Amino acid sequence: MRLVLVGPPGAGKGTQALFLASHFSIPHISTGDIMRANIKAGTPLGLEVKAYMERGELVPDSVTNEMVRDRLNEPDTASGFLLDGFPRNVGQAEVLRAILSEKKTPLHAVLELSIKTSEIVARLSGRRICRNCGRAWHVDFETTQVAGICDACQGELYQRDDDKEEVITRRLEVFEEQTAPIISFYRTEGLLISISASGSVADITERAISALSRIR
């Protein structure tokens, strides 16, 4: 299964990716996670992308496209992949099509998680991430047994810099201006499957698996 997840910031892409990647036995490739890991490790790539991410702006395509090309050349993608956060504009979608066409491994589907802006803001402003394993929790909707500590690995939870209210507003604008056009792009390509991302995490996973099972 070669799959792209698309949806606004906070739609639940990372949360659903965890379950979908496990269900289909494919690697979850999140460009945001790769960039944050580089920032944490202090690599040259991390230094280059940090300021863009803190402002809620897209990192330049020249950086992102090469990062994804390299990742898709890793052997674990032979069985497929779940791309989360890429592509994020029509230029990136065209680059992805070219990379996959060279490898003769086209996408099977693009799953759109659709959700109202009011729900997004509540999800992002209460999100907490584990410093150790990167899992997302929520102070109201996905709580941990001990406040501030990850249930999965006991790591410390923190709030992402770009989950502050003023940056959330900019990320939503960037989504509308630059990322939303890829939804029409993939509709035209006949690859788009849209589901509602409202409701419980388990209900959305079930919805997604059922929609994706029909294309196999």
Residues labelled as active-site residues: 13, 88, 127, 160, 171
Least separation in angstroms between CB 139 and ligand AP5: 8
Residue 135 contacts ligand AP5 per CB under 6 A: no
123 binds ligand AP5 (CB under 6 A): yes
- Stated as kind and residue range, the H or E segment containing 186 is helix 181-188
Contact residue for ligand AP5 among 94, 142, 151, 161 (CB under 6 A): 142
Phi, psi for residue 26 in degrees, rounded to 5: -130, 155
Pick the closer one to ligand AP5 by CB: 14 or 24: 14
138 near ligand AP5 (CB under 6 A): yes
* Residue whose pair of structure tokens reads 């990372």 in the numeric block: 14
Contact 3, 81 (CB under 8 A): yes
Residue, CB closest to ligand AP5: 32
Write the secondary structure of 122-169 as one string of H (helix), E (strand) and C (coil).
HHHHCEEEECCCCCEEECCCECCCCCCECCCCCCEEECCHHHCHHHHH
Say how far apart CA 11 and CA 23 lie, in whole Å: 20
Contact set with ligand AP5 (CB under 6 A): 7, 9-15, 31-32, 35, 52-53, 56-59, 64, 85-86, 88, 92, 123-124, 127, 136-138, 141-142, 162, 171, 200-201, 204
